[in-house]
Amino acid sequence: MKRIVSIIKQLKSTSYIKFILFPVIIVVSLLISSSIFYTQIDKLRQQIDTIYFGNFISIHKLHNIVEAYNEILLSKKYFSVQKKIILENWDYYYTAYKDKEERLIVDAINAQLQQSLNKRDTKQTRKVIKQILLTIDHEMTTATIQRESFVQQYDQMRNYLLYNVIAIFLFSLLFAVLSIYEMIKRQKDLEKSNHEFKMASRTDSLTQLFNRQYFDQIFDKMPNIAQTNNWTSAFIILDIDHFKQYNDTYGHDQGDVALKEVANALKIYFDKEYEYVFRIGGEEFGIILLNTNIQILTSCLDGFINHIHQLNIEHKTSTVASKIITVSLGISIVDENNYNTTPRDLYVGADKKLYTAKEQGRDQYIL
């Protein structure tokens, strides 16, 4: 029994640990998901910063070139200064990354730009300015397309991560709910098993009445309980008449049937609060009534004996005239007149009265 209780405690401890871990698992899962989400968002932000700042710088450089060319067209005395501005800004733009198609266009513009600076040809200069302006439009169009692509990727990534966060949360929640349900179910099973173990330890296996061990626990406290609550209480010893002869005549299997029938009758007539029925050995039963009175007690005993008669269990070797199973009972009373009595005195008193009932012909009770 101690081992069983130890196992139950261990299982309870394990269940409580799991219960504590459930919210922790959910929180950790959400933190990890959130961390992944924000990491990806930061990467996308870095991409858009690169795209827009890169395009802004490139477009700004091209605008510087156009302004320098316009100054050259207005006045030639600053030509060397403007040329330097053009070359520096163009070198930045020209050396920047370009795909194959853009590289062909930029190379063509580069040749025209070098030619315009070497020949100082106004017509060629205007042509270059026109090409630069077209390039600015191209950069702005490209930036718009890249932005649209980025926004689309951003929305897809955001939705993907959001769905993942929701999925992880729902999975964690489902896991927690199922685990909590399993824990509660297991806890109930453990409590049920524990109750069954306790009942098994204090129940007679044949009659399902309380056993002698549990009787000793209750009976030892009986006088004190009666005194504390100012109750009139009773202890009854019941014995099946000539039960040895019954077993010898009908066999032990049939004897077990008779014991069960008597036990069932006891359960029917003594099933109220503070009423306890025990099998204390062989064909002997004990009844403890912690809160009763003489009138109720005698009425119940009369009804019980009549019920045993109605069972009409044949006992042809009995000395009782009816030749059926009968019972004899001896009763000790605990009330205000003898609250200081001992359990032993109660037992001895009831046993003596049981003996008197048998001497007087059985099938009766003696108060």
Instruction: Return the higher-pLDDT residue of 5 and 161.
Output: 161
Do 334 and 232 touch, CB atoms closer than 8 A?
A: yes
- Give percent above pLDDT 70 in the chain: 80
Q: Residue 181: CB partners within 8 Å, gap ≥ 6?
A: none
What pLDDT was estimated at residue 280? 94
Q: Within 10 Å of residue 254's Cβ, how many Cβ atoms? A: 14
Is residue 7 scored above 50 in pLDDT? no
* Per-residue model confidence as pLDDT tens digits over 336-363: 999 999 999 999 999 999 999 999 999 9
What φ, ψ does residue 79 adopt, rounded to 5°? -55, -45
Which residues, other chains included, contact 336 with Cβ-Cβ below 8 Å and sequence gap of 6+? 230, 232
Band the pLDDT of 286: cuts 50, 70, 90: very high
pLDDT over 90, % of the chain: 42
Dump pLDDT digits (tens) for 221-267.
999 999 999 999 999 999 999 999 999 999 999 999 999 999 999 99
* Whether 110 contacts 92, CB under 8 Å: no
Q: How far apart are CA 194 and CA 209, in angstroms?
A: 18
- Note the pLDDT tens digit of each residue in 11-45: 445 555 555 565 666 666 666 766 666 666 666 65
Question: Chain-wide mean pLDDT for the chain?
Answer: 82
Say yes or no to pLDDT of 150 above 70: yes
pLDDT tens-digit readout, 197-219:
455 568 998 999 999 999 998 99
Q: Which residue has the higher pLDDT, 301 or 40?
A: 301
**Known catalytic residue at 283:** yes
From CA 236, how far away is CA 289, in angstroms rounded?
Answer: 8
pLDDT tens, position by position, 45-85: 566 555 555 556 778 888 888 888 888 888 755 578 888 88
Joined tokens for residue 47 = 């991409």
What's the pTM? 0.52
| 328 CA to centre of own chain | 55
Q: Which segment of 127-136, 224-233, 265-274 scores lowest on mean pLDDT?
A: 127-136
pLDDT at 334 over 80: yes
> pLDDT value at position 8?
44
Catalytic residue among 148, 261, 283, 314: 283
Q: Which residues pair with 275 in a beta bridge?
A: 289
